[in-house]
Amino acid sequence: MLRPSLRNTLLAAGSAALLSAPLSAEPRRPECIAPAAPGGGFDLTCKLAQSALVEAKLLEKPMRVTYMPGGVGAVAYNTIVAQRPADPGTLTAFSSGSLLNLAQGKFGRFDETAVKWLAAVGTSYGAIAVRADSPYRTLAELAAALKANPEQVVIGSGGTVGSQDWMQTALIAKAVGVDPRQMRYVAMEGGGEIVTALLGGHIQVASSDIADAMPHVESGGIRILAVLSDKRLEEPAMAAIPTAREQGFDVVWPVIRGYYLGPKVSDADYAWWKDAFDRLLASEDFARLRDQRELFPFAMTGPELQAHVSKEVARYRELAREFGLTQ
């Protein structure tokens, strides 16, 4: 029988060893699910993780990016919760739009407590865009056209009535006394599809976010009438884009981007991912990769992000009630 002092010494040594050892091994089959078609914000979010984790040597095997469109995130959310809840290697991208849909019950029987929120890695801002040859030169001109005849302006948005993209133009319509339900919306799956429809002339206005739009702004295909940030963005390529607020519309819409894990992923595997993203978010190399994707700093992981998600969903529920989208 061990003496108490010796037993205590061994217990202390064992605890120290556990604390210093890795919490879990690197996932064998790392994957990021983009819950929309290729080319939009979810795709961008997954590819940011794909590049950053390998470049930082936090993953030895390349992360696979797969696409699971449907319900602007609903299909992916339900798949992870109901069919792949314990998969340790699968991240799923989310945005503020995902949280807005959760607030309205659009993800079926599952709410915001059904997954493990892992990391938010950047933010973009909503943007109202038109083709480069559009007759609308300012947000005020677009608002005036909506007020004159809301059914004459075809707007493309990610998701149906109540989605994040819908909400952006709904707030602008409300500011000029137009019932948002009178406007003509074409529901699409993600920013890539919206921009394609705008360039093809199938819609007249794109309600999306600035990260999706900027590559096409720089190539000369589209113009952004307004970015929905609280002040002009300092990025040189964006500095000339006016905010909605400076044009007389007090509409601000940040678009947070990040990842969640399945609800039954082990604490050790969750801790491995959290540690990996904590390291990334503190590095200058990650900041460079984030900037290349037109995202702005927003870093939050673990319990802090869980609390933030709960707060945002509660705020979105109030906004949804204000627009008559929920009871």
Write down the pLDDT at residue 4.
42
Span 207-222, average pLDDT = 88
For residue range 31-41, list pLDDT tens digits in order.
Answer: 999 999 898 88
Write down the pLDDT at residue 107.
92
163 in Cβ contact with 320 (< 8 Å): no
- The model's confidence at residue 71, banded by pLDDT at 50, 70 and 90, is confident
For residue range 41-59, list pLDDT tens digits in order.
Answer: 899 999 999 999 999 999 9
142 in Cβ contact with 205 (< 8 Å): yes
Query: Where does the chain have alpha helices with state H?
Result: 4-20, 41-55, 74-82, 96-103, 139-148, 164-175, 191-199, 210-218, 267-281, 284-292, 302-322
Which one, of 143, 202, 201, lies nearest residue 177 by Cα?
143
Q: What percent of the chain has pLDDT over 90?
A: 71
More confident residue, 304 or 220: 304
Look at residue 8 and tell me whether its pLDDT is greater than 80: no
- The model's confidence at residue 16, banded by pLDDT at 50, 70 and 90, is very low
Domain boundaries, the chain: 31-124+255-322, 125-252
Q: What percent of the chain has pLDDT over 70?
A: 92
User: Do 31-124+255-322 and 125-252 agree at the fold level?
Assistant: yes
Look at residue 318 and tell me whether its pLDDT is greater than 50: yes
- The model's confidence at residue 160, banded by pLDDT at 50, 70 and 90, is confident
46 in Cβ contact with 12 (< 8 Å): no
What is this structure's pTM? 0.81
Span 128-145, average pLDDT = 96
Question: Three-state SS for 114?
Answer: coil
More confident residue, 24 or 257: 257
For residue range 255-274, list pLDDT tens digits in order.
Answer: 999 999 999 999 999 999 99
Look at residue 249 and tell me whether its pLDDT is greater than 80: yes
Cα gap 48→57, rounded to integer Å: 14
> Where is average pLDDT lowest: 70-74, 133-137, 307-311?
70-74
Look at residue 298 and tell me whether its pLDDT is greater than 70: yes
Write down the pLDDT at residue 24.
63
Cβ of 156: how many Cβ atoms within 10 Å?
A: 25
Class of domain 125-252: alpha beta
Q: Which amino acid is at 244?
A: A
For residue range 83-132, list pLDDT tens digits in order.
Answer: 999 999 999 999 998 999 999 999 999 999 999 999 999 999 999 999 99
Look at residue 191 and tell me whether its pLDDT is greater than 90: no
Span 146-157, average pLDDT = 93
Beta strands 116-131 and 205-209, pairing class: antiparallel
Span 152-165, average pLDDT = 88
Average pLDDT, the chain: 89
For residue range 166-177, list pLDDT tens digits in order.
Answer: 999 999 999 999
Write down the pLDDT at residue 281.
97
- Domain spanning 31-124+255-322: CATH 3.10.129.10: no
Span 140-146, average pLDDT = 95
